[in-house]
């Protein structure tokens, strides 16, 4: 199943199940609702939902007869919908005690079977709702399939339409036809890595893992930066029992995924800076925008540029503590002692404990842990409940070789006497 499929199914079912299982079940229970955790597994994907059984608490009785009866009730709640197993109630946690094989609710004796009967009613409603959701999704992809067929009647060489058709067929559980559609797309454009990847996903879902891996290899050959192709190849290898190879492939996937995320983050920051520059062309006296630009530059590790930008903000508004402290951060990034003067100016304007912490960190990086301890003491004086300042102080004391004093600081951080 593709990532898009999983996303659609999980979102719809999470909303549905959460809504349905948080409805009070009995009049007797409505006045005092208790929530139980239940794990429902649908099509292999796990969703946590809250199962509200009201005050009609379910207890596992200590007699074998009841225990067997209880188990049967649970099994009865499992239904098959459209060929898919839906475990509506896999486990109900036992939370309270038992009174002579009956449950006492607000002074009344209630049969242990009644709560499960109530759950059964909700289960039946859920089955009906689930069927309607399945039908709704089916209709969506039948329409999509019709649209792609119409597109292909106009142009049989439209590889994108063949890929979209394959995806629709896969969602309709017509997997062999989906593979044929992907093969047609590949025939038209053998360099379309997405077609190879989608084909691999269908093959993997059919447990044809060797063929799936061959498809993923082709996708990776075309686009070696596709972290998703590496990842699903790793899962397929694991299914074949090739654990060592699977781990290597998955590590490669996660490495690429992180690299892609970092690349996306940098691109977003660059675009943000361009937007800020456009704003500054209109109003170059907006100190807040200069600060925002400096923070973006600092996040890109362009700290020297950031310092000049913060200077511009300070020139416009010399009483903005954020501009001064941000300049201090940028100078600390460059390991320059001028950072201390910037923090001092920020503290002069706004003497908050976070600024003293920042000054302390800069002093540690500059090789002055003794002065850093004094800065942390000022932070603690302002906010003695801030555990971070105590930890920083402990680290600075450790650097000074004062392990006993450092331990006392750590104890303060974790509120140990």
Q: Kindly write down the DSSP assignment for every residue of 312-351, as one continuous string.
A: HHHHH-TT-HHHHHHHHHHHHHTT-THHHHHHHHHHHH--
352 vs 1, residue with greater confidence: 352
Does the residue 282 lie in any domain?
no
Q: Tell me the three state secondary structure of residue 411.
A: helix
HEC profile of 201-218? HHHHHCCCHHHHHHHHHH
Does the residue 277 lie in any domain?
no
pLDDT-derived band at 107 (thresholds 50, 70, 90) equals: very low
Q: Check residue 255 and give its pLDDT.
A: 87
- Secondary structure element (H or E) that encloses residue 47, with its range: strand 45-52
pLDDT for residue 173 is more than 80? yes
The whole-angstrom separation of Cα 89 and Cα 40 is: 6
Using the 3D structure, point to which of 84, 106, 136 is the last residue of a domain.
136
Residue 89 structural domain? 3-136
Report whether 186 contacts 192 (CB < 8 A). Answer: yes
Report whether 307 contacts 327 (CB < 8 A). Answer: yes
Same domain, 231 and 312: no
Sign of the alpha-carbon dihedral angle for 97, 100, 104, 107: negative
Using the 3D structure, point to which of 306, 335, 350 is the last residue of a domain.
350
Does the residue 275 lie in any domain?
no
Same domain, 170 and 229: yes
HEC profile of 49-75? EEEECCCCCCCCCCCHHHHHHHHHHHH
Q: Check residue 202 and give its pLDDT.
A: 92
Q: Collect contacts of 340-345 with beta carbons under 8 A, ≥24 apart.
A: 340/366
Dmax over CA atoms of the chain, in Å, equals: 82
Q: Tell me the three state secondary structure of residue 355.
A: helix
pLDDT for residue 54 is more than 60? no
Does the residue 398 lie in any domain?
yes
Q: Per the structure, how many domains does the chain have?
A: 4
pLDDT-derived band at 127 (thresholds 50, 70, 90) equals: low
99 vs 304, residue with greater confidence: 304
The whole-angstrom separation of Cα 339 and Cα 361 is: 11
Q: Which one-letter DSSP state was computed for residue 23?
A: S
Does the residue 142 lie in any domain?
no
Same domain, 19 and 37: yes
pLDDT-derived band at 24 (thresholds 50, 70, 90) equals: very low
Same domain, 311 and 392: no
Same domain, 414 and 346: no
Same domain, 105 and 224: no
Selection from 328, 348, 347 nearest residue 338 by Cα: 328
Give 355's contacts (C-beta < 8 A, 6+ positions apart).
321, 325, 343, 346, 347
Same domain, 11 and 131: yes
pLDDT for residue 360 is more than 60? yes
pLDDT for residue 9 is more than 60? no
Same domain, 364 and 326: no
Copy the structure tokens of residue 117.
Answer: 């009967």
The CATH number of the domain holding residue 169 is 1.25.40.10
Same domain, 31 and 130: yes
The whole-angstrom separation of Cα 290 and Cα 381 is: 33
Copy the structure tokens of residue 287.
Answer: 């100190």
Task: Provide the phi-psi class of 348: left if phi over 0, else alpha when psi is between -120 and 50, else beta.
Answer: alpha
Q: What angle do CA 45, 49, 50 make, to 5 degrees?
A: 165
Selection from 290, 345, 280, 353 nearest residue 318 by Cα: 345
Task: Provide the phi-psi class of 106: left if phi over 0, else alpha when psi is between -120 and 50, else beta.
Answer: left
Is residue 396 packed enough to be buried (19+ CB in 10 Å), middle (13-18) or exposed (0-12)? buried
Residue pointed to by tokens 């062309």:
281
Report whether 186 contacts 196 (CB < 8 A). Answer: yes
User: How many residues can be counted in the chain?
Assistant: 417
Q: List the alpha helices (DSSP H) in 77-156.
A: 113-154
Selection from 312, 313, 294, 310 nearest residue 302 by Cα: 294
pLDDT for residue 397 is more than 50? yes
> Residues 67-83: what's their mean pLDDT?
45
Q: Check residue 296 and give its pLDDT.
A: 93
pLDDT-derived band at 41 (thresholds 50, 70, 90) equals: very low
Same domain, 407 and 315: no
Same domain, 112 and 214: no
pLDDT for residue 84 is more than 90? no
Q: How many CB atoms lie within 10 A of CB 383?
A: 14
372 vs 7, residue with greater confidence: 372
Q: What is the pLDDT of residues 214-236, one digit of tens each?
A: 999 999 999 998 988 999 899 89
């Amino acid at each position: 199943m593709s990532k898009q499929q999983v996303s659609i199914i999980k979102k719809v079912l999470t909303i549905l199940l959460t809504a349905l299982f948080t409805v009070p079940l009995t009049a007797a229970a409505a006045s005092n609702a208790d929530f139980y955790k239940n794990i429902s597994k649908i099509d292999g994907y796990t969703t946590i939902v809250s199962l509200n059984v009201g005050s009609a608490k379910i207890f596992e009785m200590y007699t074998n007869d009841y225990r067997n009866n209880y188990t049967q009730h649970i099994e009865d709640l499992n239904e098959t919908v459209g060929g898919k197993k839906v475990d509506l109630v896999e486990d109900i946690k036992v939370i309270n005690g038992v009174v002579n094989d009956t449950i006492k609710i607000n002074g009344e004796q209630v049969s242990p079977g009644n709560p499960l009967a109530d759950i059964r009613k909700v289960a039946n409603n859920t089955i009906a709702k689930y069927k309607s959701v399945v039908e709704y999704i089916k209709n969506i992809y039948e329409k999509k399939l019709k649209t792609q067929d119409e597109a292909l009647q106009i142009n049989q060489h439209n590889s994108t339409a063949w890929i979209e058709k394959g995806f629709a067929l896969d969602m309709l559980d017509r997997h062999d036809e989906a593979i044929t559609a992907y093969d047609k797309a590949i025939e038209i454009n053998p360099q379309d890595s997405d077609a190879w990847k989608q084909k691999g996903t269908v093959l993997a879902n059919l447990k044809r893992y060797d063929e799936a891996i061959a498809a993923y290899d082709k996708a990776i050959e075309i686009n070696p930066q596709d972290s998703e192709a590496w990842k699903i190849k790793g899962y397929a290898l694991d299914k074949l029992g090739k654990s060592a190879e699977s781990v290597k492939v998955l590590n490669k996937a996660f490495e690429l995924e992180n690299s892609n995320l970092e690349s996306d983050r940098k691109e977003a920051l660059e675009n943000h800076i361009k937007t800020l520059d456009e704003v500054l062309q209109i109003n170059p006296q907006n100190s807040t925008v200069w600060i925002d630009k400096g923070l973006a530059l600092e996040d890109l590790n362009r700290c020297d540029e950031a310092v000049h930008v913060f200077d511009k903000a300070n020139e416009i508004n010399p009483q903005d503590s954020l501009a001064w402290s941000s300049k201090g951060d940028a100078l600390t990034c460059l390991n320059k002692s001028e950072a201390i003067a910037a923090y001092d100016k920020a503290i002069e304007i706004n003497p908050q404990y976070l600024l003293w912490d920042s000054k302390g960190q800069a002093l540690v990086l500059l090789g002055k842990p003794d002065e850093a301890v004094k800065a942390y003491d000022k932070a603690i004086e302002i906010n003695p409940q801030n555990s971070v300042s105590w930890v920083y102080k402990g680290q600075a004391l450790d650097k000074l070789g004062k392990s006993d004093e450092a331990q006392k600081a750590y104890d303060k951080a974790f509120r140990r006497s």
